[in-house]
Amino acid sequence: MPEAAVLIEPVPAMESEAEVVHPVGIDMVHRTRPEDAFPRNWVRLGHDRFSVAAVLPHDHPFFAPVGGDRHDPLLVAEAMRQAAMLAFHAGYGVPLGHHFLMADLDYVCHPEHLGVGGAPAEVDVEVFCSDLKWRSGLPVQGRVGWAVYRDGRLAATGTGATRFTSPQVYRRMRGEVPAEGISIPRSAPVPTARAGRTRAQDVVLSPTARGGVWELRVDTRHPTLFQRPNDHVPGMLLLEAARQAACLVAGSGGILPMEASTRFHRYAEFGSPCSIGAVVLPHATGDTVAVQVTGHQDGEPVFSTVMSGPRAEA
C-alpha cells in the first residue's frame, strides 16, 4: 500500500476560471522527505501540457549551490524529473506505486538565470508529453519535454523518454532480484574537493588502479539518494557519479555541468562492482569543457553521458 500523501504548502498562484491549481503530495514525486520534494502545485494547461510550480532550495545539504552561487544543475534536472512524475500520476491517473523508468534524460541550464542569492528560487516547470502509448486506459510510455522559467526567463530546458510498469509487471521483469537492496561501502572515497563536493558522505566514487576509472560507491544510508527501499542503484546517483568523474578529469576546480545528454542502458545492480570511466573530449573552447562518462557492470554498459560546461574555480 502506498504511504498516505503528505501535502506540501503550495506557493501562492493566480487562479482563473479555466485553471484549477492542485496541491502536491510528496508520494506523487516518489519522495518520502518533504525537503527533497520540489514541486508545490500544478495546473493543466492543455491535454498533454502542464505547469508545475516548484521551489529550488538555497540550502539543500546535497543539492548545494555550485560555482558562482548558482543552483546545482542536477537539482534542476531532479525538479524536472519530479514534475514529470507528477504530471503522469496526477494528470493521467498513473497509479501510485507504479514504477517510473527513464531511458534517457537531456538538459540545458542557463546559469545567468539560476543565481541563488541566499534564498529559495520559485520556478515554473512546463511539462509537455508526447508520443504516448496506452494500455487499459493508462499511458505506459512516452516522451517528456520541460521548460523551466524563473521570473518569466527561460532557466533550463530538457527532454526525456519514460515508461511505467505496475508493481506486478516490474517484479516479473526483475526476476529473482531482492525487492530491497542494502549497500554499505567499504572502500575509501576519492578526495572530497576533487570530486566537486564539500561533504565526504556525498562522494560516490572510490579510486582504482586504472587512470580515469573509478568504482561506484553506493551507500543506501544516504538520506537523499535513497529515500525508500530500492532494488537497484537510482539514476540520480549515476548522474552524480558522472558529475564527480567529470570533475576528477576536468582538472583543477572541476566542471559545472550546465548541459548533459544521458542514456540509461540497464539497471546498475547492488552487490557487483560498477566501474565509472571518464575522458575529456577534444575541442574545448576557453573555459568550457566536455566530458564523456560511461558506467559498466559485469562487462555490460549501464549508462553513458556527455556533460559540458564551464570549468569551476579552483
> For the segment 50-85, what is each residue's pLDDT rounded down to a tens digit?
999 999 999 999 999 998 899 999 999 999 999 999
Position 125 confidence tier, pLDDT thresholds 50, 70, 90: very high
Q: In which residue are the cell numbers 545528454 written?
A: 261
φ, ψ of residue 123 in degrees (nearest 5): -130, 155
Q: Is the pLDDT of residue 265 over 70?
A: yes
Mean pLDDT score of the chain: 91
Position 151 confidence tier, pLDDT thresholds 50, 70, 90: very high
22-172 and 179-310: identical CATH topology: yes
Residue 284: per-residue pLDDT:
67
pTM, whole model, 2 decimals?
0.92
Residue 19: per-residue pLDDT:
72
179-310, what's its fold? Thiol Ester Dehydrase; Chain A (3.10.129)
Q: Is the pLDDT of residue 3 over 60?
A: no
Q: What is the mean pLDDT of residues 218-224?
A: 96
Q: What is the mean pLDDT of residues 245-269?
A: 95
E strands present in 68-220: 99-109, 121-135, 138-150, 153-165, 205-207, 213-216
Q: What is the mean pLDDT of residues 155-174?
A: 95
State the cell numbers at 204.
Answer: 560516490
Q: Is the pLDDT of residue 13 over 70?
A: no
Residue 228: per-residue pLDDT:
85
Please report, in angstroms and rounded to a whole number, the separation of the first and last CA atoms in the chain: 48
Residue 314: per-residue pLDDT:
57
Give the whole-angstrom CA distance, residue 32 versus residue 22.
19
Residue 63 exposed, middle or buried by CB count within 10 Å (0-12, 13-18, 19+): buried
Q: Is the pLDDT of residue 7 over 50?
A: no
Position 9 confidence tier, pLDDT thresholds 50, 70, 90: very low
Which sequence spans correspond to the domains of the chain? 22-172, 179-310
Residue 233 exposed, middle or buried by CB count within 10 Å (0-12, 13-18, 19+): buried
1-10, 75-84, 172-181: range with lowest mean pLDDT = 1-10
Q: The domain 22-172 belongs to what CATH superfamily? A: Hotdog Thioesterase (3.10.129.10)
Q: How many CA atoms lie within 13 A of 269 on its CB side?
A: 14
Q: What is the mean pLDDT of residues 206-227?
A: 96
Q: Is the pLDDT of residue 88 over 70?
A: yes
H or E stretch at 276: strand 274-280
